[in-house]
Structures are given as C-alpha cells and as structure tokens.
Amino acid sequence: MAEASPRKLEALELFAPLPRHYDRVAALLSFGQDPRWRRTMVGAVRAQPGERVLDVATGTGLVARELVRRYGCQVVGLDQSYEMLASARTRLQHDDELAAHITLIEGEAERLPFADETFDHLTFTYLLRYVDDPAATMNELARVVKRGGRIASLEFAVPPNPLWNGLWRLYTRVGLPSLGRLFSREWAQTGRFLAHSIPSFYERYPVERVVELWEQAEIGDVHVRRMSLGGGLVMWGRRTADKDGGERRRPSADGGAQDT
C-alpha cells in the first residue's frame, strides 16, 4: 500500500473493529433499510451466469453474496481492510456455493490490481466518502470494466425534504451514536463519524456533482434512485461504448426524483 493519507488511515482504523457484528448492526442502525438498498443496487447489475463482477469495498461480502445468489456470476470482492475481509472469508468457509463463486482480494479502490476491461460489471458500496480523490477513483473503477458493462453503487445520502432532513440530522447526531453505544464503543464512534462524514461529503460533492464524476469516467446512462426518504442513494450506469461517450446522457427519469 502507498503511504496512507489521514483519510485512508481513518477508514482503516474505523473498520478494523467492526466486522464481528457488522451485518446485523448495519441493518439495525438503518432501520432495516440497507439490505433493501443493497438488493436494489444488485438488481441494477443484471449480470449473466458466469460473468465476472468486481465488488469494490466488499467488506464482509454482503453484496458479493447477493450477486452470486441472484445471478450465479463469478465475483471478485476487493477491500482494503484485512479485518473486514477476514469476516468475508469466514462466510465463505461456511458456504461451498459461495466459496465456488467468490474470490477475495485485499487491495485499494484507488489502485486496482487488474488490467483494463477485466470485468463484465462492477459494484461499489459506501466507498467514495473514504477516498481522497473521488474523481480519480471513479476513473480507476471504470477502467477495469468492459465497454458496455454495468457499474452500480450504494451510498448513504442526506434527505432533501426539509422535514426528513431535520429528523435525519437529529437521528444521525444523537440516535446513531447512542444506539451504537449499545453494541460497543467502536460502534458509538462509527455513529459519530457517519453523522459528520455523510453531510460533509455532499457539501463537497452534491449528487449532481457525483453524476458528473461518473460521466467524466465515461459511464453513461446514469440513473439515480433515492430510497427510504433519501437516506439511501443507489446509482447505476454503463461504461460507454466509446471514448466520446456515445451512450451518455443526463440522469434519466429515475434521476433524483424517485424515492422508494
């Protein structure tokens, strides 16, 4: 790994103690919504059995598992956290079907250890807030996807409606750290971290700017779906067929407005 920036060190430290209860706590803290967001994102990939999908920031492997169950595709799950990957490995040890379809790799989204156009499709989850240069990382993610392949992501978001926005801020500032404390000191710290990290990312990169980053990375036909009153944001698009972005256009009817 190249010398780690403060942002990267923070991400590495944040996730190191979380894998043990990650799946259950993450679902609970999002009121059961984040499995639903993950399913929507995976649904946008529309992979064929046998195709190769790269799942970046795979963590404990929840997206990788969903991809295999839904499509019977081959998945490479990549993450920079040794500890999160160790938990994903344990999952594979208990499930031969998953083990036959998923390969796990320790690596960084900013420097993917793959040749251009290696994968049919790519997914990434809760990633861009943790990287120093989201534009460069988007380019790097797109680089390893075949032309025409699908790229889909999931991220937390700040609800745009003023009422929900106010409640969301209250929940993330007070509710998340307090609920987190019920599990461990580290989850309380994660709650405090998210209350700051999510709005601060969107102050620097409003959703329209994130769409631009995708388009600059030669990803076209970009869709944006806000879910759960805007607390979750699922995006998907296709790597453009040519360098001029033949398939590019502004976000479609899903764009921004849809809330499910």
Q: Is 247 in the site for ligand SAM (CB under 6 A)?
A: no
Cα Rg, the chain, nearest whole Å? 17
Q: Is the CB of 81 or the CB of 228 nearer to ligand SAM?
A: 81
CB environment 60-93: b (16+ within 10 A), e (fewer):
bbbbbbbbbeebebbbbbbbbbebbbebbeebbe
24 or 46: CB nearest ligand SAM:
24
Rounded least distance, CB 66 to ligand SAM, Å: 9
**126 lies in the site for ligand SAM, by CB under 6 A:** yes
In the complex, least distance from residue 186 CB atom to ligand SAM, rounded to whole angstroms: 13
Q: Which of 125, 153, 190, 240 binds ligand SAM (CB under 6 A)?
A: 125
DSSP sequence for 11-47: HHHHHTT-GGGHHHHHHHHTTT-HHHHHHHHHHTT-P
- The residue among 154 and 224 lying less far from ligand SAM, judged by its C-beta, is 154
Across 160-195, b (16+ Cβ under 10 Å) vs e yields eeeebeeebeebbbeebbebbeebeebbbbbbbbbb
Least CB distance to ligand SAM at residue 6 (A): 13
The binder of ligand SAM chosen from 45, 53, 108, 177 (CB under 6 A): 108
Specify the stretch interacting with ligand SAM by CB under 6 A; choose among 56-64, 89-97, 113-121, 207-215. Answer: 56-64
User: In angstroms, rounded to a whole number, what is the distance separating the alpha carbons of residues 90 and 87?
Assistant: 5
Binding site for ligand SAM (CB under 6 A): 11, 15, 26, 38, 57-59, 62-63, 79-81, 84, 108-110, 125-127, 130-131
